[in-house]
Homo-oligomer: A and B are copies of this chain.
Amino acid sequence: MPPDTIDPRIWAAGFEATFLRKLQGHSPLDAGEREVLRGLVGRLERIGPRAVVVEDGAAPAAAAVLIEGFACRFKLLPDGRRQILSFHLAGDGIDLQSLLLGTADHGIAAVTDCLIAWLPHNALRAAARAHERIADALWRETLTDAAIARQWLLNVGQRDAYSRLAHLFCELGVRAGAAGLGRSTGFEMPATQVDLGDATGLTPVHINRTLQRLRGDRLIAQRGTALTILDWPRLAGAAGFDPAYLRLRAA
């Protein structure tokens, strides 16, 4: 059960407004199924920026759901190079595949302050067994995750720096909009230029110069960690962005 340091009404509302909302974006759930899922929430955890939520190679006994904040998944090379595999917003199940795979093949880290809800594997498995639509929703969530990884592979493998960054911002915009966190043309983008480099397979130096071009071309603007997309059609055009892979209803 959630620690008494966090008001249950707060996290229940957050869980409903983020994770359940996200699942229902692609899979229907009735009130009973939602109640079952709410009942799964075990420990809640607040972690600070850059903290590692799940260590690469670990075998967690619970799946992490992001309730607040901005996080990323990553893989590390022995020499310290890091590839960010995905960014995550409130509502994302960031660890669901650990339910079946056991050990993690990548790490998960907070980018900002985050609130994590842990759903114990055994309870989650029981819920999936008992409710077919819960199993479907979870499976679909991991499949969407895989679809994003494939899209990133295309991004990193084939597009130049300019389109790569443009594509990343389009994705984050659409996802933020769908998650109810700001508009798709204006949202929080707290990743540093180093993070962006690790996500796109580019050097921070090159990210910096490419960002300057995107700003100079009046496609985006940044104020602190707030990113504004000034010209969505042209940015999406430069990115070759098609949101279909995100599997969102109203996209």
Contact = CB atoms under 8 A, between A and B. Distances in A.
Contact of A201 (B75, B158, B244): B158
Interface residues of A, dominant DSSP: helix
Interface residues of A, number: 43
Contacts of A106: 150
Contact of A147 (B57, B105, B151, B201): B105
A249 interface: no
Contacts of A57: 244
Contacts of A150: 75, 85, 105-106, 149
A153 B159 CA distance: 13
Interface in A143-157: 143-147, 149-154, 156-157
A129 interface: yes
A78 interface: yes
Contacts of A85: 150, 153-154
A135 B174 CA distance: 31
A82 B151 CA distance: 12
Contact of A153 (B77, B129, B153): B153
Interface in A68-93: 75, 77-78, 81-83, 85
Interface of A: 57, 75, 77-78, 81-83, 85, 97, 100-101, 103, 105-106, 129, 132, 135-136, 139-140, 142-147, 149-154, 156-159, 198, 200-201, 240, 244-245, 247
